[in-house]
């Protein structure tokens, strides 16, 4: 037996001395629009213990039967790369882009926000809604339902303020994202 030099061990995981911060990423996944594709993508996430913070799906090219799945997820940069590579290996997946890393994404979300209140709180809720360009889509003498769209951070801020004024319920669509510029995402 020969004394071979010891090679450094290789690992896909970060060692104890090399901590990485958890980052949030928006992934755009172009897939075939056929039954079971969404279940396969979601199964990849759940089977490996990855979390999905936001999920939207829509058909983008009817004639070609192509859809876009937009997923917001969190993990270390190494985990995000691993997620991308695993998604790219799925058969119905055509392309995966990390829109956050590319720094060229436009992200928007829609929320319906129900707020109750009378008197000064009611007036304040309407004033704040005007500042955020939220539309009143339903109203009674005791409540409002606002429709607000924009960046997720804008929605978080609006919801935070409305919490103090009588927030009852929130329904959010999830993030829709697309890359800037002339190329397709």
Ordered by start, the domain boundaries in the chain are 23-103, 106-178
Q: Please report, for residues 13, 14, 93, 122, 135, the alpha-carbon distance to residue 17 in angstroms, rounded to integers and kept in the order given.
A: 11, 8, 35, 53, 50
Q: Which of 17, 11, 68 is nearest to 38 (CA)?
A: 68
**Same fold across 23-103 and 106-178:** yes
Q: Please report, for residues 66, 149, 152, the alpha-carbon distance to residue 70 in angstroms, rounded to integers and kept in the order given.
A: 13, 17, 14
Element (H, E) at 102: helix 99-102
> Are the CB atoms for 151 and 107 separated by under 8 Å?
yes
Question: 23-103 has which CATH code?
Answer: 3.30.70.260
Question: Given a cut of 50, is residue 7 above it in pLDDT?
Answer: no
The whole model's pTM is what?
A: 0.78
Domain formed by 106-178, architecture:
2-Layer Sandwich (3.30)
Res. 103 pLDDT band, cuts 50 70 90: confident
What is the C-alpha separation between 3 and 89, in angstroms, rounded? 40
pLDDT of residue 74: 93
Question: Given a cut of 60, is residue 1 above it in pLDDT?
Answer: no
The string of pLDDT tens digits covering residues 49-96 is 999 999 999 999 888 999 999 999 999 999 999 999 999 999 899 999
pLDDT of residue 18: 61
Query: 103 versus 16: which is more confidently predicted?
Result: 103
């Amino acid at each position: 037996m020969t004394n071979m030099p010891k090679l450094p061990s290789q690992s896909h995981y970060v060692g104890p001395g090399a901590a990485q911060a958890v980052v949030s990423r928006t992934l755009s996944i172009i897939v075939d629009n056929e039954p079971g594709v969404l279940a396969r993508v979601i199964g990849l996430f759940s089977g490996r213990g990855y979390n999905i913070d936001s999920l939207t799906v829509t058909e983008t090219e009817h004639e070609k039967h192509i859809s876009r799945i937009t997923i917001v997820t969190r993990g270390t940069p190494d985990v995000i790369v691993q997620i991308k590579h695993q998604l790219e290996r799925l058969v119905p997946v055509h392309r995966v882009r990390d829109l956050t890393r590319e720094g060229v994404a436009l992200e928007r979300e829609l929320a319906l926000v129900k707020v109750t209140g009378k008197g000064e709180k009611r007036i304040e809720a309407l004033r704040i809604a005007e500042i955020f360009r939220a539309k009143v889509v339903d109203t009674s003498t005791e409540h409002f339902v606002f429709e607000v769209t924009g960046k997720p951070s804008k929605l978080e801020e609006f919801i935070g303020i409305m919490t103090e004024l009588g927030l009852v319920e929130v329904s959010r669509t999830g993030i829709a994202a697309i890359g800037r510029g002339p190329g397709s995402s």
